[in-house]
Structure 1
């Protein structure tokens, strides 16, 4: 039995869909906070187990009969490290054989600008010391996140970002879900660490060039300075904390924190991951 947490989120949903192609639904369970929001999973035969990362007793119940757990990071940034520890503790108590955790690809923990990512490293440290067999899935920034940074109207507005010439080997979230499902469904032999990235790195100037080619409209990328960029976000009414987080993501890209290509995703998929062109064509629904 495999227990999926975060089962109704984007990555969790994608991973379950691919798992269902590899395993009977009777071998898949989903930890959900609200069963009514997971009716589609239940209809497919997935076993719903109701609970939250904050409820150790519910986690203990959810772990019954489970051999593998995939832990997708919680969204409560102030408490999620403790929440992740609760899941790891419940898995150990229940005799779970393997714990997977969705982490992030960043080169240097000591120099990263986005301190929100520190929670991932703290969780990794805890899992390594927990005593369970484990795999850390260090995912690169999703290609699906590009529209969030540059906007859905980028063909008209262009790009104004403080990312310099920094590059990212973007990958589609659904392909990551497919790769993770492959590891989950395998009988054994999982690696301790998977770096899930695309096969090539791209800058936002590359993103602009591809969008220009696909759309026939000139899309310009302007490498902004951080203070001016932050002011533009504040002028749009974004809270200071949100501005800091967005700026942190982009500063790490500028500083090369994400620019590390790994063959792991390609090997797990058995094919090349989607290119930047293929991904942007899909995300922006361009011909």
Structure 2
């Protein structure tokens, strides 16, 4: 039986949909949820609902019993994520889970000097624990979802500017749905034991490229301006704009080249070319 954590989120639900399309019976799929009310649609499909919380060890052990493959979606509670992940792995071992598929992150810079250290610390430790656990594992190094691009660049059709301290850094982004499809492929088949996959696109683009593409698709001139971090923060303050510190950390990491990794791993898994960023931008902005 396959169990999926984070099943009420976008990625989890998409993965379940792809498993069903691949012919996996609902009786062979279970989900871990904290609140059963949010899983009503999954319950109606006949999927087994198990209640558990990354902060509640005993609930995890109960939920993981009888599970062959566990899709372990990394937690979102950044301050507590490392300790939560340690609990999930221990519970999986105690419950007799045979194979853990873990959604890690794609990152090049691993030291504490990285702007993304708060994000990647839990991933680095979880990957290490998995490899030392003796469990069969598969590590999915998930990059940034393509769907996040509009949130990063703002309402460019109004402002005419992409204003980010990302320098000449490039980003390799992929659609969340295609990441979920590749994940479902791994869950539905054998042959992926003790391997790591890079869930990024086959090409990386700079924000200057993105500005040019949107200009071409819309006929509106979009310019890319890369201020210093200090200038960026000052501008936000002057405009009374408040954005999460994590957002700035991701942009600064991109400036250091931490999001430039490219790979054809996902194409091999889903058996076709990935959606390029140009297609996504055209659909998102041509009629925007």
Question: Is the TM value for this pair above 0.5?
Answer: yes
- 1:124 paired residue among 124, 127, 134: 127
Cα RMSD after superposing both structures: 1.6
* Alignment-derived partner of residue 242 in structure 2: 238
Cα distance between partner residues in 1 of 2:208 and 2:29:
42
Runs of 5+ consecutive residues of structure 1 not aligned to the other structure:
none
Are the counterparts in 2 of residues 115 and 248 from structure 1 also a CA contact under 8 Å? no
Q: Give the aligned partner of residue 142 of structure 1.
A: 145
Q: How many Å separate the matches in 1 of 2:181 and 2:56?
A: 29
**How many equivalent residue pairs?**
283
Q: How far apart are residue 74 of structure 1 and its match?
A: 1.1
What does residue 256 of structure 1 align with?
A: 257
Offset of 1:284 from its aligned partner?
4.2
* Residue equivalent to 1:114: 116
Deviates more, 1:171-180 or 1:73-82: 73-82
The equivalent residue for 2:100 is 99
| C-alpha deviation, 1:237, in angstroms | 4.6
Match of 1:156 in 2: 158
**What is the deviation of 1:46?**
1.2
C-alpha deviation, 1:172, in angstroms: 0.7
> 2 CA distance for matches of 1:45 and 1:219?
48
1:199 to 192, 197, 202: 202
Q: Report the alpha carbon displacement of residue 21 of structure 1 after superposing the two structures with TM.
A: 0.9
Determine the C-alpha separation between the residues in 2 that align with 1:191 and 1:283: 38
| SS of structure 1 residue aligned to 2:78 | coil
CA contact (8 A) 1:172 1:274 kept: yes
Alpha carbons of 1:84 and 1:284: their partners in 2 closer, same or farther (altered >3 Å)? Answer: farther
Give the Cα–Cα distance (whole angstroms) in 1 for the partners of residues 126 and 183 of structure 2: 18
- State TM-score, norm by structure 2: 0.93
Whether the 8 Å CA contact 2:62–2:95 is kept in 1: the answer is no
2:150 and 2:254 map into 1 onto residues whose CA distance is 16
Aligned partner of residue 230 in structure 1, secondary structure: helix
Deviation (angstroms), 1:282: 3.6
Structure 2, unmatched stretches of 5+, are: none
Alignment deviations for residues 61-106 of structure 1 (CA, whole Å, 9 cap, x no partner): 1112100001111111111111111111111112111101111111
Residue deviations 1:218-245 (CA, integer Å, cap 9, x gap)? 1111112111112233443527xx23x2
Pair 1:215 & 2:222 matched: no
SS at match of 1:183: helix
Following the alignment from structure 2 to structure 1, what is the Cα–Cα distance between the partners of residues 286 and 123? 33
Partners of 1:92 and 1:131 within 8 A in 2: no
CA distance 1:202–1:38, change in 2 (3 Å): same
* Distance in 2, Cα, partners of 1:190 & 1:130: 14
- Once the two structures are TM-superposed, the CA of residue 195 in structure 1 deviates from its matched residue by 0.5
Tell me how far 1:270 sits from its aligned partner: 0.6
User: What is the match of residue 4 of structure 2?
Assistant: 4
- 3-state SS of paired residue (2:173): coil
User: What whole-Å deviation, never above 9, does each CA across 1:175-217 have from its counterpart, x for those lacking one?
Assistant: 1000011000103433521001111110111111111122221
* Partner Cα distance (1:15, 1:109) in 2: 28
Q: Cα distance 1:189–1:76, how it changes in 2: closer, same or farther (>3 A)? A: closer
TM-score (norm 1): 0.94
Mapped contact 2:173–2:277 kept (Cα < 8 A) = yes
